[in-house]
Amino acid sequence: MTMDKSWTKITNKVDQRFIKGAIAFAEWGKRFADNEGRIHCPCKKCVNARRHDPAVVSTHIIHIGFEPSNNVWIYHGEHLPGYETDGTNSECEESESESNDGVDELLDDAFQTGGETEAENLRGSADIRNNPHVEKPLYPGCDEFSVLGFLLELMNVKVTRKMTNVSMDMILNLFSRAFKDANLPKNHEAKNTSRYEENSKGKKKPVKVLRYFPITSRLKRLYASRHTAKEMSWHDRKRTNEEGVLRHPADGKAWKHFDAIFPDFAKDPRNVHPGLASDGFNPFGSMSLSYSMWLVVLIPYNLPPWKSMVDASFMLTLLIPGRDSPGKDIDVFLRPLVDELKLLWEKGAETYDCESKQIFNMRAIWTINDFPAYSYLSGWSTSGYKACLICNEDASSIHIRNKIAYVGHRRFLPQDHS
């Protein structure tokens, strides 16, 4: 059983729907009250860290506002994704703070008692829930603890009592030796890598930094002007389609092949076909400095070539600063861009077209890259024995001296080819 949350997004606190929602929330929360009848207050000031009488909670919400980041009501009967129960007595049983598998409560308590770093460690330990080993009972016949529940309770003790990682390792090692039937790890498996550099002096320096600039609003702005809105359909309406001539990516086989596979996408020429480019440079102008800045740029190929390949059309999406190139870790930095592109591909975004004076659902496809970018951005090696993505395991590559030679490059040609 859940409660409607749409009222929490209302910014006008005198709106009647917001006021009624706050009162209904306080009534809803009574079933999760403690022995004194108090419930967690989700207002912007208390953020579930304090308990009050339900009447006080509704007053706080109305006057202070509902904390916008509180999307999953952990303290009021809901569960994080992956921890839903079968629905039997869930409203009462799972609200008890003594629940041994109270994963959600432990995670949020960590933010209040142990600080951000330890809370991340706990959240890292929660990521192992997909491992079937942690879903087992702690030992055969144990109905009270699962492996995950026990480890998270132990982690909560570590956080609240400020135990060191060495202490945790010693305790786990002792438990695993003393209780042979228990499915326990022998060391501190739930510990994540620190987000900060270990030997940094003064202010903590994060290991990885990323600056991301979303693209959806900028793509929408291309249709806000009648000039650019008209040119975004140039590839379909104005391009000269001459057989055997390549003037634009739309003349290429890959573009045409994509249109044949996805006709629903191709039928609206306003859908965006982006290209993606990435390179690094030294922002300080001295090549001796151990520092680099990597850019990831998106280019809308819908525009004519003389408009798409100018700096005014380039969309900077990612800035990756650091001492070295991100290398194979670039997929970590690309994640927000990939997620946004997936959203534009699957659902699209409502966009006003200034030329036709209509609202349409703008979608975008995955990016178009050259062959070297296939390796750097997509994870396929374009060098070595399996350099050919078509041949894969069957690539005719042999080692000659210090190089790899591809001796079978003629095998796809006809026997009588000149």
For the entire predicted model, the pTM comes to: 0.50
If phi > 0 it is left, if psi is from -120 to 50 it is alpha, else beta; for residue 142 that is beta
**Contact (CB, 8 A) for 246 and 252:** yes
In Å, how far from its chain's centre is CA 19?
Answer: 34
Cα–Cα distances (Å) from 346 to 282, 362, 366, in that order, read 37, 11, 11
- Provide DSSP, 123-179: HHHHGGGGSGGGGSBSSTT--S-BHHHHHHHHHHHHHHTT--HHHHHHHHHHHHHH-
User: In tens digits, what is the pLDDT along the chain, a chain of 418 residues?
Assistant: 567 888 888 887 778 888 888 898 888 888 888 888 888 888 888 888 788 999 999 999 988 888 877 777 877 877 655 444 444 443 333 333 333 334 344 334 433 433 444 434 444 443 444 445 556 788 888 877 777 778 877 877 887 777 887 888 888 888 888 887 887 776 665 446 677 777 767 777 777 888 999 999 999 999 998 889 999 999 998 888 888 888 898 998 888 999 999 999 999 999 999 988 888 888 776 665 677 888 899 999 999 999 988 888 999 999 998 877 787 778 888 889 988 999 999 999 999 999 889 999 999 886 666 677 777 777 677 788 888 777 777 788 888 888 888 887 677 778 888 8
- Provide DSSP, 49-75: SSEE-HHHHHHHHHHH-B-TT--S-GG
Q: What is the dihedral of CA 170, 174, 180, 185, to 10 degrees?
A: -10
Q: Under DSSP, is residue 292 helix (H, G, I), strand (E, B) or coil?
A: strand
Look at residue 362 in the predicted model and tell me its pLDDT: 94
Task: For the beta carbon of residue 277, count every other beta carbon within 10 angstroms.
Answer: 15
In Å, how far from its chain's centre is CA 16?
Answer: 35
Residue 312 to residue 374: CA distance in whole angstroms: 25
Task: For the beta carbon of residue 31, count every other beta carbon within 10 angstroms.
Answer: 13
Instruction: Output the six-digit token pair for 256.
Output: 């045409």
